[in-house]
Amino acid sequence: MGQQDAQQVCLNGHQITDSYHYSPNFRMKCCSQCGAETIHQCQSCQTEIRGDYHVEGFFGFGDSTPVPSNCEGCGALFPWAKKQQDLTVATTGPRQDGFKLIEHICSRFHLVTKQLRTRYADRGSLIVVDEYDVQDLLHGLLRIHFDDIRPEEWTPSYAGGSSRVDFLLKDEQIIVEVKKTRESLRAKHVGEQLIVDIARYRAHPDCKNLICFVYDPDGWVANPHGLESDLNRKDEDFEVKVLIVPKGH
């Protein structure tokens, strides 16, 4: 008789393994492609995501297990399918949802930086090392959806004289702030800086929505969900969303 296994998938929909129980050594806490966290059960009802069907004595028919869009226990859309649906609504809806589009770009940023490291015959590339690289690459990616992107240069009180550039999307009344963590800029300092920046942008006449994109490829932020929920807020006239990417180190 056979046995039904579960599969493990990252929140962006990359399959990690379809033999979650049978081959525990294939499990990963976060996705090797995009860095996102992984799940093997529905987050609403805990039903396992259907994986490979093992038949004793038979090995590898080679058919890969598809990644489903909906939970077979409760019918809920899985996060990757939800993202896709949100994106469709955001790009084709009556009014573009700038917030969702930027979230989508940010959620795949780590994939883009990794892809850029590989070029034909080792040609030159944009290798993301510091915050300026993150700014420039994000600026380019914002062009996919936005025409009017205004770099806003300012010198924060904590930066000891060095200035930073954030982006104002004037039509959408969104400001995108960019940070990259490093050993000297871990969670505590990022949090403190963001509190200062959020207060500043609250008073900005063109800013109704603030997205703080924190690129954390080396995992200096130990509890990204905690930091996000500490700082996220939604008032009537001002919304802040902190996105720490990737998560799940």
List residues binding Zn ion (CB under 5 A).
10, 12, 14, 31, 33-34, 36, 42, 44-45, 47, 71, 73-74, 76
Please report how close the Cβ of residue 7 comes to Zn ion at its closest, in angstroms: 13
Q: Which residue's CB is nearer to Zn ion, number 71 or number 134?
A: 71
* Per-residue CA distances from 243 to 15, 106, 183 (Å): 23, 8, 19
Measured distance CA(4)–CA(6) in Å, rounded: 7
Q: Which residue's CB is nearer to Zn ion, number 45 or number 129?
A: 45
Q: Which residue's CB is nearer to Zn ion, number 36 or number 169?
A: 36
Pair 19, 54: CB distance under 8 Å: yes
Token representation of residue 121: 């015959």
Is the CA virtual torsion 111, 167, 211, 162 positive or negative?
positive
Q: Which residue's CB is nearer to Zn ion, number 14 or number 164?
A: 14
Please report how close the Cβ of residue 111 comes to Zn ion at its closest, in angstroms: 7
Please report how close the Cβ of residue 32 comes to Zn ion at its closest, in angstroms: 8
The amino acid at residue 224 is P
By DSSP bridging, strand 2-6 and strand 15-17 are unpaired
Please report how close the Cβ of residue 141 comes to Zn ion at its closest, in angstroms: 18
Please report how close the Cβ of residue 115 comes to Zn ion at its closest, in angstroms: 13
Q: Which residue's CB is nearer to Zn ion, number 43 or number 88?
A: 43
By DSSP bridging, strand 15-17 and strand 174-180 are unpaired
Q: Which residue's CB is nearer to Zn ion, number 39 or number 178?
A: 39
Closest to 140 measured CA to CA, from 171, 173, 178, 192: 178
Please report how close the Cβ of residue 70 comes to Zn ion at its closest, in angstroms: 8
The DSSP annotation for 130-197 comes to SHHHHHHHHHHHHTTT-S-EEEEEE--GGGTT--EEEEEETTTTEEEEEEE-BTTB-HHHHHHHHHHH
Closest to 156 measured CA to CA, from 130, 179, 173: 179
Per DSSP, the three-state class of 17 is: strand
Please report how close the Cβ of residue 39 comes to Zn ion at its closest, in angstroms: 11
Q: Which residue's CB is nearer to Zn ion, number 30 or number 169?
A: 30
